[in-house]
Every structure is written in C-alpha cells, then in structure tokens.
Chain A
C-alpha cells in the first residue's frame, strides 16, 4: 500500500517568506508527527497530532512555526518569516491507532527546505 508522502520534496525560499509543507499519512493512521533534521543530526521532534488535535507541540521552536490537521488525515506545517536557520529536512511520520501493539512510526521521505 501507499506509504507516507510529503510534498514538495524540495523547497527553496528566500529569507522572510512564508512556506507550507504537506504530509499525507498512511490511510487509517490516527497519529501524525513532524520532525526536522539538520545535517549530521538525528531527527528532532516538532509536533504530534492524535486525530485533528495537537497532542504535543512542545517541540515547535517558536511562534513562527504552526501545523494543522483539520480533517484528521493530511497535515500542513507552516513556517512564517523563514530564517536561514530553518533550513533542514522536515520529516513526517504516522502511526496506527493506540490499539496497535507496535505503534511503529512510518516516515515519509521528507521535504528539504533551503532558506537563502
């Protein structure tokens, strides 16, 4: 079946611009996570949705970052007034309902964001 997809795969923008990154999770997965990964580092948690609501947004670095998941499936990560330090690979992951024994997270390929 289809895995987690993320669009665009690459995004180049200028400092100060607004960007939106999209994540399509695996159908039926209720949990959705956003991470970002800088070069040479492991992924860093940003925000987690259970259904439509943000269950944990403690990883968002500041109020320029915002994410939504209005219908409990597709999610959009929004970054306002981008800065060069926002350049990273943004990863999305989804996982099945809590009843699953494994709660394995399935990751998408990521969106590489470059802020010039």
Chain B
C-alpha cells in the first residue's frame, strides 16, 4: 500500500475551520483516499473518502489536489467533540481490503 504522511499534531480553536493535510506522493491511479478518525477510547470511525473530485458530507469536506499527490480534510467549524486522531489512508478501488493506518494527526480543539 502507498504511504501517507501527516503532521503528528495540530491545534484549533473551537468554532474555527481546520485543515488537516495529507501527502501521498506515490498514490496509484486506483487508490481511493479515505479518512478515518479515532476519538479517545473508541474505535476508528469513517469520515469521508474520494478519488479525484472534492467531496462533501455532513461531517467534513475533502479537497484533493489535481495531481492527487496530496489532500486536505476540512472541518468547517471545529467543536470539542472533533478532538481525535485523524488518519489519512489509501485504499485500492478493488474492494474490501484491510486499512493501513499510519500514526495520524492528533487534533486538539481549544475552547
């Protein structure tokens, strides 16, 4: 699986937007970009995924660079409940495959 690189930690003020970056320079044409997050003492949960175009859902937005070598997860208004470790993961289009987690970005939200 192609590798992703994320900052170890980030901090945000409550109610402010947060941009979480991810580099994946060796991404292949059949890799989807997935984001999961893990709240304290819980299992990871799915956030969003995309292939080429930017994506929006109720939780977040995903902005994908034109060359697909990087992407950014956008939380439009951070809340204290968004404090978690965010994982950027590449996953082949072929179907059910294990997720390969890195260390992710630990997001702290300050009231």
Listed in ascending order, the chain A residues whose CB lies under 8 Å from chain B are 4, 31, 33, 35, 40-45, 48, 50, 55-56, 59, 91, 93, 95, 98, 102-110
Q: Digit string of B81-111 for contact with A (CB within 8 Å is 1, else 0)? A: 0000101000100011111111110000000
Q: What residues on B are CB-neighbors of A109 within 8 Å? A: 41-43
* CB <8 Å contact, A42 and B43: no
When A42-B102, A42-B104, A43-B101 are in contact, do A110 and B95 touch as well, CB less than 8 Å?
no
Q: What residues on B are CB-neighbors of A105 within 8 Å? A: 36, 44, 46, 99
A48 partner, pick from B36, B98, B104, beta carbons under 8 A: B98
Q: What residues on A are CB-neighbors of B85 within 8 Å? A: 42
- Chain B at the A interface: mostly helix, strand, loop or mixed? loop
* CB <8 Å contact, B96 and A50: yes
Min distance, Cβ A3 to any Cβ of chain B, angstroms: 9
User: How distant is the Cα of A103 from the Cα of B104 in the complex, in angstroms?
Assistant: 21
Q: Digit string of B41-69 for contact with A (CB within 8 Å is 1, else 0)? A: 11111100100000000000000000000
Min distance, Cβ A60 to any Cβ of chain B, angstroms: 12
User: How distant is the Cα of A4 from the Cα of B44 in the complex, in angstroms?
Assistant: 12
* CB <8 Å contact, B101 and A56: no
Sorted nearest first, the 4 A-B pairs with minimum C-beta distance are: A107-B43, A42-B101, A45-B98, A104-B46
Min distance, Cβ A97 to any Cβ of chain B, angstroms: 9
B96 partner, pick from A40, A48, A110, beta carbons under 8 A: A48
Q: Digit string of B12-46 for contact with A (CB within 8 Å is 1, else 0)? A: 00000000000000000000000010000111111
Which of chain B's residues has its CB closest to A103's CB?
B96
Q: What residues on A are CB-neighbors of B45 within 8 Å? A: 106-107
* CB <8 Å contact, B43 and A98: no
* CB <8 Å contact, B95 and A103: yes
* CB <8 Å contact, B103 and A41: yes
Beyond contacts A42-B85, A102-B46, A108-B43: 19 other A-B pairs, Cβ-Cβ < 8 A, are A31-B96, A33-B98, A35-B98, A42-B101, A43-B44, A43-B101, A44-B101, A45-B100, A48-B98, A50-B96, A91-B43, A93-B43, A95-B96, A102-B49, A103-B91, A105-B44, A105-B46, A106-B45, A110-B43
